[in-house]
Amino acid sequence: MRDIAEGLRGLLDTGAPFAVATVISAQGSSPRPAGAAMAVSAAGEALGSISGGCVEGAVYDTAERVLGGEGAVVETYGYSDDDAFAVGLTCGGTLQVLVAPADRELLSAWTEKVAIDEPVANQIRVTPDDVVVIVEGNYLLLDEAPWGELADLLNATAYMDLPDDVRIERLVARHVAFGRDRPEALEFVRRSDESNARRIEPGRKHAAVLVSSSEAPSPNLRR
């Protein structure tokens, strides 16, 4: 859905109603995974793709019904691979798609976070076929529930052990790079990021690897 974030900001700015269609399940040879989304405005403008052209026309019609007052619906679209090839489509498989009126408040908050590269929940789908998963998180090494239950699920852990001034400057630079001015970035770091830093510091002792400010592994390794 991040691929249409900028377009969604434009739709939100118009104030006009629109519907969002989101793939909630994908099976077979569908070219887009769960989470792919498209939007359809009341004026008939379509934004994004959920199947590379295979079912967009049908989804467009459903979005018009939703905008006409039908309310949110879940539709299933599918072709066998042979049928898809016969009508000139590049995909078979089955998609389940949620088509709903846009939640303007939720999408406004989401697009703002995406614009400044802030974390957004549930944006990365991990499947059983993924061999390696790298996770970054403030609370993964905490003893308190539910975080303390995660340690046994991780094959390796590392803690970035930075002096306060280095950490703060890197965080400020990151926020500035994504659109905040420096005073605003510094205020955000002191208010939010630094409170998190204080909270996660006790988890340092659980890390298998300590990484110093030079970005080289510390000789004091714990396994």
Phi and psi at 99, nearest 5°, equal -115, 120
Looking at residue 214, the DSSP 8-state letter turns out to be T
Tokens (6 digits) for 27: 């099976």
Residue 138: per-residue pLDDT: 67
- Contacts (Cβ under 8 Å, ≥6 apart) of 75: 58, 59, 62, 96, 97, 99
Pairing type for strands 158-160 and 209-211 reads parallel
Residue 40: per-residue pLDDT: 93
Q: What is the model's pTM? A: 0.57
Residue 100: per-residue pLDDT: 94
Q: Where are the domains of the chain?
A: 2-115, 129-223
Residue 79: per-residue pLDDT: 62
Q: Is residue 48 within 8 Å of 38, Cβ to Cβ? A: yes
Residue 219: per-residue pLDDT: 42
Residue 66: per-residue pLDDT: 94
Residue 140: per-residue pLDDT: 82
pLDDT means over runs of 10, the chain (223 residues): 86 92 80 84 88 80 92 81 49 80 88 74 70 79 82 84 89 85 91 86 87 54 35
Residue 80: per-residue pLDDT: 57
Task: Tell me whether the omega of the peptide bond preceding residue 146 falls within 30 degrees of 0, making it cis.
Answer: yes
